[in-house]
Amino acid sequence: MNYDQLESVDGSLTQHGKYNDRLYIMKLAKSGDISKAISKIEGLAKRKNYGKIFAKVSNLSAKYFGEGKYSLEAKVPNLYNGSRDGYFFSKYLDDQREEIDDESIASVVKLAEKKKNSSKNIDEEMTFEELSEDDVDDIVKIYKVVFKTYPFPIFDPKYVLDSLKENVRIFGAKVNGKIIAVSSCEIDYDAENVEMTDFATLPEYRGKGISHKLLSLMDLKMKLAGIKTAYTIARSKSFGMNITFSRRDYSFAGTLKNNTNISGSIESMNVWYKRLSF
């Protein structure tokens, strides 16, 4: 499978490719001619005929995107070091890419927000813990069962192992010692934030509140690690995941339109966030 590739453009870290049919500005250059760098990035996206340019930046860089017909799709307060807001901007090179079913997405968010701070009891004997490099093969097996496709190569044990050695911590739920659900914390130590991601539960264990319990453990561990702000980018029409984050007191920040290729098609994604520590 041809996943999107990382590429540095004038000091900015980007990820782009036909898999997601987009160019994602993951980290904008901190110095130099920023306007020139963005222009180069846009030129690359146009040459590749991508449908969308997507950027995650702090308030220090937001001004550059207000000038270029970018849409602000989500805003996360205090995303960077607990003091600077984070902005998710998009620019559509294909007009059809911007068309979404607003009504359906709004209904998911509305129901999720009604569940804010509520809880769900686990009705089986399960253990919840942080997983290690020794668990990589079992983690990958879960991913392969749950996801038809995914925007990153999580079906590759080496990729998962390398991630664990760098900035990712993976948590799991077990029944009789067998892993039946997993989730990940993708940490940006410099910015003191974390993306809560890669939630996967075997089909026969769904609907039992496992993701809620995993997220509770992740929140605690990240808070203890000194991380200031947590966020997630969840499938916009997934009642389960949106409710999970609302139940854990995350707040809705906005919708990224037709943003991510997951389970075989491009889907819109909802951003939720929570302040963990000060």
Superfamily of segment(s) 102-275? Gcn5-related N-acetyltransferase (GNAT) (3.40.630.30)
Domain boundaries, the chain: 5-97, 102-275
For residue 51, what are its two tokens? 């449908």
Is it true that 5-97 and 102-275 share their CATH fold?
A: yes
- Note whether 84 and 65 are within 8 A (CB): no
Of 67, 65, 57, 73, which is closest to residue 14 (Cα–Cα)?
57
CATH architecture of structural domain 5-97: 3-Layer(aba) Sandwich (3.40)
Instruction: Show pLDDT as tens, one digit a residue, over the chain (278 residues).
Output: 678 899 999 999 999 999 899 999 999 998 889 999 999 999 999 999 999 999 999 999 999 998 778 999 999 999 999 999 999 999 999 999 999 988 999 999 999 999 887 776 666 689 999 999 999 999 999 999 998 888 788 999 999 999 999 999 999 999 999 999 999 999 999 999 999 999 999 999 998 999 999 999 999 999 999 999 999 999 999 999 999 999 999 999 999 999 999 878 899 999 999 999 88
Using alpha carbons only, what angle is made at residue 144 by residues 206 and 221, rounded to the nearest 5 degrees? 60
